[in-house]
Amino acid sequence: MPYSIALAGKGGTGKTTLAGMLIDYLVKKDKAPVLAVDADANANLNEVLGLEVSETLGNAREEMKKGVVPGGMTKDIFMEMKLEEAIVDAEGFDLLVMGQPEGQGCYCAANSLLTGFLERLTGNYPYMVTDNEAGMEHISRLTTSAVDILLIVSDTSRRGLQAGIRINQLAQKLNIGVGKSYLVINQTREAPTDRVMEMIREGGLELAGTVPADDTVYEYDLDGKPTVVIPDDNAAVRAAFEIFDKIIE
């Protein structure tokens, strides 16, 4: 199994941008190939990475549920074909988009086949980075499980910090196999105050570091340009890479 890193946090904290920086970091540190998984229903990790996506695993589930399997092809072979179609190859990493949440009806058979294929797939990668949807839903549904690092991303707001603390507490309560949880405060303009540090300590989280607010990151995001091509000497990229140096094996 790969060394697994999952990102979580309140919406709007820059979680997906940091996921892209993490993937870029792993590739540049010769830890490739990396499997990048976009598990957010509002999928946009591909935009951060500068990739086009035409197929998702959600589409495959839906097609199988509706019986859209070509004649002469078993469901197992069909799902394997759709999984391969959903993998987007890039330099040093592959991207897999989970797609929209399931609709009404039973997806048990499709999900069972999909789980088996994903387990086989992940064995080909030394590292896996999963960008989860915002909030706590993915934790309560156990879609984030057996991860080596849960990287919780917050902004400087009280609500962002509270959301991060609750995500960590829920992950511990459900005992879903998280090796280590870290907090990253993103988009900072000054060092965390004593009150913020007190909240983090009382919430049982370890602060891995802070990433400064940066005009270049903002402009790339606003213009729809992949943020992974921002130069390495950018202040936000440098800060993120320093954090990754500390917490990743």
Q: What is the 3-state secondary structure of 81-92?
A: HHHHHHEEECCC
Question: Tell me, which fold does domain 3-247 have in CATH?
Answer: Rossmann fold (3.40.50)
What is the structure's pLDDT at 142? 45
Beta-strand relationship, 87-89 and 93-97: antiparallel
What is the structure's pLDDT at 69? 77
What is the structure's pLDDT at 135? 72
Beta-strand relationship, 147-154 and 87-89: unpaired
Domain-by-domain residue ranges, the chain? 3-247
What is the structure's pLDDT at 106? 52
Give the other-Cβ count within 10 Å of 41's Cβ.
14
d(CA 192, CA 223): 30
Q: What are the b/e assignments for 201-237, b being 16+ CB within 10 Å?
A: eeeebebbbbbbbbeebeebbeeeebbbebeeebebb
Give the other-Cβ count within 10 Å of 42's Cβ.
10
Give residue for tokens 């300590």.
Answer: 201
What is the structure's pLDDT at 145? 62
What is the structure's pLDDT at 209? 97
What is the structure's pLDDT at 33? 96
Burial class (CB in 10 A: 0-12, 13-18, 19+), 55: middle
The separation between the first and the last C-alpha atoms of the chain, rounded to the nearest angstrom, is 15
What is the structure's pLDDT at 102? 57
d(CA 208, CA 184): 6
What is the structure's pLDDT at 107? 46
Give residue for tokens 């002469």.
Answer: 72
pLDDT means per 10 residues in the chain (249 residues)? 90 93 97 91 89 84 75 80 87 88 54 67 90 71 72 93 92 83 96 94 95 96 93 97 95
DSSP secondary structure letter of residue 56: -
> Which residues 6+ apart lie within 8 Å of 117 measured at CB?
79, 80, 83
Phi and psi at 56, nearest 5°, equal -130, 165
Give residue for tokens 């959903």.
Answer: 86
CA dihedral 16, 22, 25, 26 (to 10 degrees): -130
